[in-house]
Amino acid sequence: MKKLITGIMTFLAVFLFIKPKKVLAPRSQPEVKPGDLLFSPLGQKDSFYIGHVGIVTEDMSVIHSIPKGLKKDDVDHFFGKFKRLSLYRSKSEEAGTRSAAFALHLYESNTKAPYRFFTKLKETDGEQYCTKLVWQAYYYGAGINLKKFPLYARAIHPEFVKDSRHLYKVGSY
């Protein structure tokens, strides 16, 4: 009888005090295009900060800046890193393509770029952060100054480059 009571108590303890892991339904992932910007309200473990942004390239990768340098993830992996993402697209397909090409150039020429938030937007050959990377991609790649920031501006939060003159929101995922 003692074994039966112990067994029942163990059974109840396991099912009452241990919560099962939630299984999330797979989220739909949109079709992305070169130059698309993917914004997350929260950084992931490799970015540390509140707010993050990356840019989609021609080969369907996402280039973004993290403390270890510039990083290139495939789109599926990038979507898997964040609980929520907002997708913004250039109103000009050509501008998106040119911006994506410049982002790839930045990545290939400076993969180990140190992560520094308080650096001038104009400097492409050294320190980077996520917003600076996508701003430079549009500025130097397509001639678009998102939100008309001066070249000496520093420490721009990702939310501040959502420029409705040049970008539109595709959706949140």
Q: How many CB atoms lie within 10 A of CB 29?
A: 14
Which amino acid is present at 110?
A: N
Give the residue among 78, 41, 55 at the shortest CA–CA distance from 159.
Answer: 41
Given this model, what pLDDT does residue 83 score?
A: 86
Does 15 score more than 90 pLDDT? no
Higher pLDDT, 47 or 119: 119
Does 79 score more than 80 pLDDT? yes
Higher pLDDT, 132 or 126: 132
> How far apart, in whole angstroms, are the C-alpha atoms of residue 53 and residue 63?
9
Question: Residue 63 forms beta bridges with which residues?
Answer: 55, 72
55 touches 99 (CB < 8 A): yes
> How far apart, in whole angstroms, are the C-alpha atoms of residue 56 and residue 89?
10
Give the residue among 108, 143, 133 at the shortest CA–CA distance from 55.
Answer: 133
Give the dihedral of Cα atoms 146, 164, 48, 55; nearest 10 deg: -70
Does 41 score more than 60 pLDDT? yes
Does 24 score more than 50 pLDDT? no
Question: Residue 65 forms beta bridges with which residues?
Answer: 70
Given this model, what pLDDT does residue 26 score?
A: 52
Q: Which of 23-32, 37-46, 74-83 has the lowest mean pLDDT?
A: 23-32
Mean pLDDT across the chain, nearest whole number? Answer: 87
Question: Sorting pLDDT into bands at 50, 70 and 90, what band is 25?
Answer: very low
Region 77-91 average pLDDT = 94
CATH topology classification for 31-172: endopeptidase fold (from Nostoc punctiforme) (3.90.1720)
Cβ contacts of residue 57 below 8 Å, gap of 6+?
34, 63, 72, 100, 101, 103, 104
Region 113-128 average pLDDT = 93
Is the overall model pTM greater than 0.85, yes or no? no
